[in-house]
Amino acid sequence: MAHALLAGHAPLIATLAAALVIGALIGSIGIGGILLSPWLIDVVGLDVRDAITVSTASFIAAGVVALAIYPRSERNSLVRGWPLVVATVPGALLGAVTLAFASKRVSLALLAALLVSTGVRVLARGTPHARDAPYGSVGVDCAVGGVSGFVSALTGTGGPMVLVPIQLWRGVPLLAAVALGQVVQLPIAATATFGNWMSGGVDFVTAALIGAMLVPGVLVGRRIAEVVPLAALTRAVAALLIVVGAWFVMRAVTG
C-alpha cells in the first residue's frame, strides 16, 4: 500500500497541520474526527476505503491520550458506563466488516439526521449545568455503544462524532458526553482497525504520522474546554453538529 503522505513535503506538512487542528476539536468539543477522512480524500488523494481505514487507525493514539488524561473526578462516571464502552467493540468490528461492501449513502443520511436533530435539540435546551452523566439500563447503554461503534467504524468518523450526539440526545451533559466520547475512541478505533486489516489492509505508516499530530491537538483542546465558558462550548457543538449534518446530506445526495 502506497504511503500517499510521503509523496511530497507539501501534502505531509498540510495534513499534519490539519491533524493538529482536528485533534484540538476532538479534545475540546469531541467532534472533529469527521473532518479527517474528507481531507485525506480531497486533499491527499486517497480513495474512500483507504481514507476511512487510515483515519480510524490514527484515532487509536487520540483514544490512548484521552484515557490517560481522563479526570479523576469523572472516573466513577466511566466505571458506570462500562457496558456502553464494552458494547462498542462488537459494533466496531461489524462496522469494519461492513465497510468492504456497504453503501455509504444510507449510513451518511442516517448520521446526518442524527447530527442535525441533536444540534437543534441542544440549542433548544440551552446550556446544561450538571456534569455527571445519567445512565439508563444496561440494555440501552449496550445498544448505544453498539450503534456508536458500528457507525464510527463504517464512516471513519471516530467515536466522539457518533457517541456525543447520542448522549446529548439522551440528556447527558455536554462535558460528560465529550469525555466519554473521547475514551471510546480507543476500543472503537483498535477493533475497527483490526477488522480493516483483516479485510483489506491498513496503511499504518500514514496512520501513525497523523496520530502523532492528533495527540498534542487533543491535549490543547482539553485545555481549551477547561477555560471556555460552558454556554459557548455548548453552542459551538450544536452549530457544528448542524453544519456537519447538512454537509453529510449533500455528500449522501451527490455521492
User: Does pLDDT of 32 surpass 90?
Assistant: no
Using alpha carbons only, give the angle 144, 184, 145 rounded to the nearest 5 degrees. Answer: 15
Residue 91: CA atoms inside 13 Å, Cβ hemisphere, count? 28
How far, CA to CA in Å, does 165 sit from each of 33, 138, 206? 14, 19, 29
Q: How many domains does the chain have?
A: 1
With CA atoms as reference, report the closest residue to 237 among 249, 224, 253: 224
- Residue in the block written with cell 458506563: 81
Does this model's pTM top 0.85? My answer is: no
* pLDDT tens, residue by residue, 102-114: 776 776 676 677 7
Over residues 78-93, mean pLDDT = 86
More confident residue, 50 or 90: 90
Using alpha carbons only, give the angle 118, 189, 44 rounded to the nearest 5 degrees. Answer: 90
Q: Which domain holds residue 91?
A: 4-254
* pLDDT tens, residue by residue, 197-239: 988 888 898 899 999 999 999 899 888 888 888 778 778 878 8
With CA atoms as reference, report the closest residue to 182 among 53, 88, 54, 80: 88
CB 154 within 8 A of CB 107: yes
